[in-house]
Chains A and B, each alone.
Chain A
Amino acid sequence: MAITDDVLVVGGGLAACTAALSAAETGARVRLLAHKKSTLRQASGLVDVLGYAGGDGPFAEPYDGLDALSDDHPYHVVGEDGIRDGLRLFDEAVGDAYQGGHTDANALVMTHGGTMKPTARYPESVAPGLASSSGDMLLVGFESLTDFDAPVAADHLAAANVPFSVRGVTVEFPKSFRSDAKVTRFAKALDRDESVSGGTVRSDLADAIAAELDGETRVGFPAMLGDDHDDEVRDELADRLGVPVFEVPTGPPSLLGLKLEDMLFDALDEAGVRISTGNPAVDFETEDGRIETVIVDQKHRMTPYEADQIVLATGGLVGKGLDSDREHITEPVFGCHVPHPEDRYDWSEPEAFGDHAFARFGVVPDDELRPTDEDGAVQFENLRAAGGVVGGADVAREKSASGVSLATGAVAGRLAGEEATQ
């Protein structure tokens, strides 16, 4: 015996969650099998689809750039319908917490480095900071939160010729914590409106910023404005300052990423998806070209999981869905074929932000997202791939990481679910 389901999704990030939600829609019994805490925690919480391709961009709409992508790009496997289906699943999962679904257009969202990122969906707390919104901007950073240097970010934005004035100031947070305090500690202090000498965290913070305000009509903070009571925190600050406040997405562990993780896992629960986390899939057993069993290393002891259909959504090189040594790139769970130049000096370019070959490494999908071998033949009848493990996209340069995950997740999950419930 083994723990048995119709569809087993291996992975815990955006692609895996989307694949599981999509498969569950077909009526299949689905299990998500994730190793560590979701990589969504490390992510900005922004959902990009396509900003740049073939030397062009930023595109007004992600769909404008599809033709400029190379033929082996995953978007050409799933098509515009696949992308739209991925976004639909996302919108349904997160509800009002995200904006951007009202239009096909990209929004320009500010990053913590002060660049503008073309983005299809963004948390509502980010919305007042869009480049397309008018109004001069004050960015606020804190000595003790080194992730976000407000004056530097403001200078970057100004240098990009944004159509408003922007200024950055560094203030002291009303309450002092240990020097390496985490972003969640700041959020908690605002959530609870902890008292400090002379008032509370929220009121003192508002006072400190009011003293800096010089005609700006919106104020941006690193994403730390409350966790459980974030609406309340933003409302109170906006109220006290008399202008809207917004959050700038930050690096890991990112509060917006943590919140997105919670929302997606809640959506999985809602959809009846079963979840097993904490241990890696390490091996598998096959019969007649099909994967029968996935073996999970459950703290040194092996546990078999069985399913009719499998979706591989373990991520790319960064997410450890792909492994590398000095000579080879491998997909460690099922040993799927990952083409790469023999000479590893051809894997990358001399420039740090160059057109690196490694960025597009990944499994080569057939038109049903099944990984193929060197000869282009389907490797396993019942295995599909989604997200960063799929090759052909340079998601960092294209600003397409979330979109590729959503679209391939939606399609791989649906096909797996349909196959399993036939």
Chain B
Amino acid sequence: MASETQAPVSSCVDAGGGAIGMPQLCPDWMGNQIFWLVVTLVVIFLILSKVALPRIAAVLAERQGRITNDIAVAEDLRQKARDAEAAYEKALAEAKAEAGRIVAEAKDEMQAEMDVEIAKADAEIAAQAAESEKKIAEIREGALDAVKDVAMDTVPDIVAAMGGKADAKSVKTAVNERMKG
């Protein structure tokens, strides 16, 4: 700065343009500084209070509002999701109960049908068994009669062959007695 050619006209500056002492203490310049300082401060104050600060405050408030709003919306959506989940759970439980009921019903139906069929089959089997019993009894009767007839036929011959004589009446009695035992 020593080579500065222009030398301000002031009591605080030497011939070479250098400062004499502290320029901060030079009374010649203070009026100028204070005047421009006041102008500057007023300008800054007007700029800040009329434009800058309201604008920034509005932006901050808007952002805060948006955030609060978004959080509320998110909360709402979460509640909706919870409701949907609950409805789904409920529907699922209902469907399960319905399915269980249908299965039980089908089982009961089948059981009833089966019972009827079994009863019918049992009855048929019983009837057939009775029939068979009867037939067997008949056959057995028939067989006994046949044996008696054969005995009746053969006994006189056998007695004759032994050299005896048998009348029909005694033979019949003897055979009957034998058959009973």
On whether the two chains bind one another, the answer is: no
Task: Give A contacts to B, CB under 8 Å.
Answer: none
